[in-house]
C-alpha cells in the first residue's frame, strides 16, 4: 500500500496508563483523509486538537455533571482524559485541517496537498 | 483494512481471551453477562435520593434512543449509523474502531427506585438518566426525644 497509510500509526504516549484512547475511524479518499473520533463526555471548550511536527494530537478532559455525593456502583469509563496521536504523512496539508465536534463525535478533515492529488497516468501501448 | 492478512481474527481472539479471564476471576457473574465493552459504555452510581446512569453514546439522535424501565430493569436500545463509505471504490478505510449498528443494553437497578420519577438528558454524547428513589427509602434522621 502507499505511504499515505502513515496516518494509521499510533504514537507512543509516555503516560498511556492514565488516558483513554478514543476509538476512531480513518477514511482516505482521493482528496484527503477524514478522521472520526468518539469522545463522549467532552465538551467543546475542553477539546484540544493540535498539529505539531506532523503529529496530530486530540485530547481533552471529560466533564460530567455528577452530584457531589455520588457513589459509583459500575464504572466502565474510568479515566478522566482522552488522548490519541497520529503521525501525518508529508503529502497531507496540515495548514488546511478543518474540524467539527457534535454530540461527542469529532470529525477532522485533512486535505492532501495540491501536488499530491492523484493524477491518472496514461499508458501508451505501442 | 489489513486484518485479512492474519490467518484468523486476532482481535476477536484477544476479546475472547479477555472475557475468559474476567469470567475466571468473577466467580458469580451477573446473569445478564459481564457487559463490559458493550455499547454504550455505562457508568452507574447512586446518591441517597437518586440513581444516576451515564451512557456514553456519542453521535446519536436523542429521539432514536429507546429507554425502557420495567420494574428495576433499565434497557437502552437504538441504532448507530456507520460513517464509513459503503461501496465507494475511491475511498479506503484505514481504521475502523467505532461502534456501528444496533445496540441493546440491559442493567439491573436497585429495588427502591421510583419508576415514575425519571429524567433523561443528552449532552456531549452522554445520555444521563436520573431516577429518584422512593421516598420511604430515603434515610431519615430520627430525633431522640
Judge whether A29 lies within some domain. Answer: yes
Q: Give residue B28's pLDDT.
A: 61
Q: Give residue B5's pLDDT.
A: 52
Q: Is the CB of residue B85 less than 8 Å away from at least one CB of chain A?
A: yes
Residue among B47, B84, B124 whose CB faces A41 most closely: B124
Judge whether A120 lies within some domain. Answer: no
Residue among A25, A39, A40 whose CB faces B83 most closely: A25
Structure ipTM: 0.74
CATH architecture of structural domain B37-83+98-136: Sandwich (2.60)
What's the CA gap between A88 and A55, in Å, rounded?
A: 6
- Report, as an integer, the average pLDDT of B112-140: 87
Residue pair A83/A15 in contact (Cβ under 8 Å)? The answer is no
Closest by CA to A7, choosing from A36, A38, A35, is: A35
List CB contacts (< 8 A) between A6 and chain B.
none
List CB contacts (< 8 A) between A104 and chain B.
56-59, 124-126
Judge whether A73 lies within some domain. Answer: no
> What is the pTM for the complete model shown?
0.75
Judge whether A7 lies within some domain. Answer: yes
**Structural domain spans, chain B:** 1-34, 37-83+98-136
Residue-by-residue DSSP string for B25-93: H-SS--TT---TT-SSEEEEEE-SSEEEEEEE-TT--GGG-EEEEETTEEEEEEEE---S-SS-TT-EE
Judge whether A34 lies within some domain. Answer: yes
Q: Give residue B130's pLDDT.
A: 94
List CB contacts (< 8 A) between A5 and chain B.
94
Judge whether A36 lies within some domain. Answer: yes
List CB contacts (< 8 A) between A72 and chain B.
43-45
Preceding omega of B102 cis (within 30 degrees of 0):
no
- Report, as an integer, the average pLDDT of B67-93: 88
Which domain does A18 fall in, by range? 3-63+79-113
What's the CA gap between B112 and A53, in Å, rounded?
A: 55
Residues 16-45, chain A, touching B (beta carbon < 8 A)? 23-30, 33, 36, 38-44
Residue among B54, B83, B124 whose CB faces A36 most closely: B83
Per the CB < 8 Å rule, is A71 touching B36? no
- Report, as an integer, the average pLDDT of A74-84: 87
Report the b/e string of B69-85 with b at 16+ CB within 10 A: eeeeebebebebeeeee
With 0-12 / 13-18 / 19 or more C-beta atoms within 10 angstroms meaning exposed / middle / buried, residue A26 is: buried
Q: What is the mean pLDDT of chain B?
A: 82
CA distances for A102 relative to A56, A94, B57, B107, angstroms: 19, 22, 12, 27
Note the pLDDT tens digit of each residue in B87-108.
777 888 999 889 888 999 998 8
Judge whether A71 lies within some domain. Answer: no
Give the sheet arrangement for strand B92-96, strand by strand.
A98-102, A105-111, A32-38, A24-29, B92-96
Per the CB < 8 Å rule, is A104 touching B124? yes
Number of domains present in the structure of chain A = 1
Judge whether A74 lies within some domain. Answer: no
Per the CB < 8 Å rule, is A76 touching B93? no
Contacts of B118 (CB under 8 A, 6+ apart): B69, B129, B130, B131, B132
Place of cell 459500575: A74
Supply the CATH number for residue A25's domain. 2.60.40.790
What's the CA gap between A95 and A112, in Å, rounded?
A: 10
Q: Where are the beta strands (DSSP E) in A44-95?
A: 47-52, 55-61, 71-75, 81-87
Q: Give residue B11's pLDDT.
A: 72
List CB contacts (< 8 A) between B95 and chain A.
8, 24-26
Amino acid at each position: 500500500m502507499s505511504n499515505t497509510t502513515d496516518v494509521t500509526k499510533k504514537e507512543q504516549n509516555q503516560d498511556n496508563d492514565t488516558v483513554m484512547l478514543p476509538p476512531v475511524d480513518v477514511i482516505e479518499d482521493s482528496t484527503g483523509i477524514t478522521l472520526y473520533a468518539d469522545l463522549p463526555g467532552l465538551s467543546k471548550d475542553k477539546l484540544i486538537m493540535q498539529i505539531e511536527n506532523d503529529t496530530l494530537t486530540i485530547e481533552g478532559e471529560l466533564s460530567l455533571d455528577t452530584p457531589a455525593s455520588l457513589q459509583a456502583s459500575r464504572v466502565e469509563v474510568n479515566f478522566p482524559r482522552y488522548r490519541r496521536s497520529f503521525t501525518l504523512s508529508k503529502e497531507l496539508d496540515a495548514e488546511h485541517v478543518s474540524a467539527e465536534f457534535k454530540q461527542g463525535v469529532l470529525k477532522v478533515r485533512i486535505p492532501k496537498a495540491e501536488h499530491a492529488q492523484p493524477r491518472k497516468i496514461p499508458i501508451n501501448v505501442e | 483494512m489489513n486484518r485479512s492478512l492474519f490467518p484468523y481474527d486476532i482481535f476477536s481472539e484477544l476479546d475472547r481471551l479477555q472475557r475468559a479471564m474476567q469470567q475466571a476471576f468473577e466467580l458469580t457473574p451477573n446473569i445478564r453477562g459481564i457487559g463490559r465493552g458493550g455499547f454504550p459504555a455505562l457508568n452507574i452510581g447512586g446518591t441517597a435520593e437518586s440513581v444516576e446512569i451515564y451512557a456514553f453514546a456519542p453521535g446519536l439522535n436523542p429521539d432514536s434512543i429507546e429507554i425502557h424501565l420495567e420494574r428495576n430493569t433499565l434497557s437502552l436500545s437504538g441504532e448507530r449509523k456507520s460513517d464509513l463509505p459503503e461501496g465507494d471504490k475511491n475511498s479506503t478505510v484505514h481504521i475502523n474502531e467505532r461502534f456501528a449498528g444496533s445496540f441493546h443494553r440491559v442493567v439491573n437497578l436497585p429495588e427502591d427506585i421510583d419508576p415514575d420519577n425519571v429524567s433523561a438528558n443528552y449532552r456531549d454524547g452522554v445520555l444521563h438518566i436520573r431516577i429518584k428513589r422512593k421516598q420511604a427509602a430515603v434515610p431519615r434522621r430520627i430525633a431522640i426525644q
